[in-house]
Amino acid sequence: MSPESASASAFQPQEFRRREGGEETCILFNRAVFPVAHEIPFDANAITGQYTMTGSAAGRGTTLFFHGEDRDLVLRHYRRGGLVARLSEDAYLWRGLRATRAVREWQLLVWMRARGLPVPEPVAVRVQRRGGWYRADIITVRIRHTETFMDLLAADGLPAARWAAVGATIGRFHAAGVFHADLNAANILLDAEGGVYLIDFDRARRRRPRRHWQQANLRRLRRSLDKAAAQGKLRFAESDWQALVAAWQGAVARG
């Protein structure tokens, strides 16, 4: 059994709810990793008090990396982007628990892993509701020994075979009906053995497989690469991109 399969087989989902004052908290978690809901570290203070912080990454918000329960873990707080962030950087309109971004991402990750797609293992999500608004966090297992597609291209570039591997992997997701809302070079991870993974499925969703959105999703990746190249952050040849597209087409066709 592969490490991915072994991890998936150990998945033990659990739900915990608590109401204190005017705030209601719901936590979905894998008790195979964290047996007790109230011990899950959903903020930096809890991490430093119980576990070893191993790093951070800046983006729309700060993503924290830490080691605990014999795993490398990732904590991400859901934050808004764009102009709406000026009104509230992390509060979202409440439309029910199952409609929250955290729970939708959790459910999608569970679904994808059950189908063998290369994504992070979900560990826990927390949704805190107060009135008509909520805030949320998610913890996933960090995929070890990987670098982003962006960083690898910025360093030495990649051979056509690695571009093809990226295209084939994206094709698998598209064939399964997974639309990645932020498909860019920073959300694709590669390891030294040729493995390719997608991360950050906030706002991602399942759709009926159709070429129009699949191609639009792929064009989004191309725009991110062109933008980075225009800024001098990386270089690539058109033949590299064509290797990716050809492999993507093959994977989508195979379904």
Per-residue pLDDT of the chain (255 residues; tens, 9 = 90+): 334 444 445 889 999 999 999 999 999 999 999 999 999 999 999 999 889 999 998 766 679 999 988 999 999 999 987 555 556 789 999 999 999 999 999 999 999 999 999 999 999 999 999 999 999 999 999 999 999 999 999 998 899 999 999 999 999 999 999 999 999 999 999 999 999 999 999 999 999 999 999 999 999 999 999 999 999 999 999 999 999 999 999 999 998
DSSP assignment letter at 121:
P
Which of the following CATH numbers is that of domain 146-254: 1.10.3720.10, 1.10.220.150, 3.40.630.90, 1.10.510.10? 1.10.510.10
Bridge partner residues of 65 (DSSP): 55, 74
* Alpha helices per DSSP H over 24-100: 44-50
pLDDT of residue 98: 96
Bridge partner residues of 124 (DSSP): 29, 139
pLDDT of residue 164: 98
Q: Containing H/E element for 135?
A: strand 133-141
Q: Which amino acid is at 160?
A: A
Closest CA to 146 of 74, 195, 200: 195
182 annotated active-site: yes
pLDDT of residue 69: 86
Record the pTM: 0.92
Q: How far apart are CA 129 and CA 93, in angstroms?
A: 10
Closest CA to 244 of 192, 166, 175: 166
Q: How far apart are CA 251 and CA 172, in angstroms?
A: 6
For the chain, how many helices (H) and strands (E)? Answer: 7, 13
DSSP 153-175: HHHT---HHHHHHHHHHHHHHHH
The SS3 of residue 6 is helix
Strands 52-58, 62-68: parallel, antiparallel or unpaired by DSSP?
antiparallel
- The CB-side HSE value for 154 (13 A sphere, CA atoms) comes to 14
Each domain of the chain, given as residue ranges in start order, spans: 3-141, 146-254
Do 30 and 14 form a contact (C-beta atoms < 8 A)? yes
* Cβ count near 22 (within 10 Å): 8
Closest CA to 123 of 57, 39, 18, 204: 39
**34 CB-contact burial (10 Å; exposed 0-12 / middle 13-18 / buried 19+):** buried
The SS3 of residue 238 is helix
Cβ within 8 Å of residue 159, ≥6 positions away = none
Do 126 and 40 form a contact (C-beta atoms < 8 A)? yes
Bridge partner residues of 7 (DSSP): none
Q: Which of 137, 182, 200, 240 is catalytic?
A: 182
pLDDT of residue 84: 57
The SS3 of residue 152 is helix
